[in-house]
A and B are shown apart, each in its own frame.
Chain A
Amino acid sequence: QKEVEQNSGPLSVPEGAIASLNCTYSDRGSQSFFWYRQYSGKSPELIMFIYSNGDKEDGRFTAQLNKASQYVSLLIRDSQPSDSATYLCAVNGGTGFQKLVFGTGTRLLVSP
């Protein structure tokens, strides 16, 4: 079982719609959860982080965490073509939870 799993996509949504990206993780002890956005050929950049169960909102982005279900998601409201990118879920893990373990990413396509 992979430590962090994401659907590779592509997830296609029309401009203005809500994009929902999902991620599951295997290590119940994980405490920190991150969403990174990566444009093709560029480096990942942090979008959101969440540590506690529930929702965390930042502008058009909402991260949702459910530790009981080992599930974290990212909602993007009012999706824009510039949101088209690969979204990487990352979870802390490893001995002492010092590692950051990445999923393989979900490719999002927002059509005008």
Chain B
Amino acid sequence: EAQVTQNPRYLITVTGKKLTVTCSQNMNHEYMSWYRQDPGLGLRQIYYSMNVEVTDKGDVPEGYKVSRKEKRNFPLILESPSPNQTSLYFCASSPTGGNTEAFFGQGTRLTVV
């Protein structure tokens, strides 16, 4: 089954404790991205990757890191989480980028206390 898998689905952590949210896709898509979704602000792109070893900042990259060492995986790293990073996070992949359909993971609800 074609899918984008995120883990964990839910996470509560404390300020400053490094965490990683994993994302994996099995569709051989070149393009992957991370979004955060907040009430009233919609989906905002954090980082995106157009291919292995190619990543770029989205609209809200501060406080986040990503890497793309393999085509299927695109982890999101919060090195020192803060309460303002409490949000619903989605990973997405698409064949070639913004001109094609994006497939979303199930979402990760992160709470930073």
Question: A and B from one assembly?
Answer: yes
Interface residues of A in 98-112 (CB under 8 A from B): 98-105
Flag whether A12 is at the interface (Cβ < 8 A): no
Interface residues of B in 72-92 (CB under 8 A from A): 88, 90, 92
Q: Contact between B99 and A31 (Cβ–Cβ < 8 Å)? A: yes
Q: Answer whether A43 and B106 are a contact pair too, CB < 8 Å, given A88-B42, A102-B42, A104-B40.
A: yes
Interface residues on A, range: 20 to 34
Q: Which residues of chain A have a CB within 8 Å of any CB of chain B?
A: 8, 31-32, 34, 41-46, 49, 88, 90, 92-94, 96-105
CA gap between A102 and B100 in the complex, in Å: 14
CA gap between A45 and B43 in the complex, in Å: 13
Distance of A96 from chain B, by nearest CB (Å): 8
Closest 3 CB pairs of A and B: A92-B98, A104-B42, A43-B104
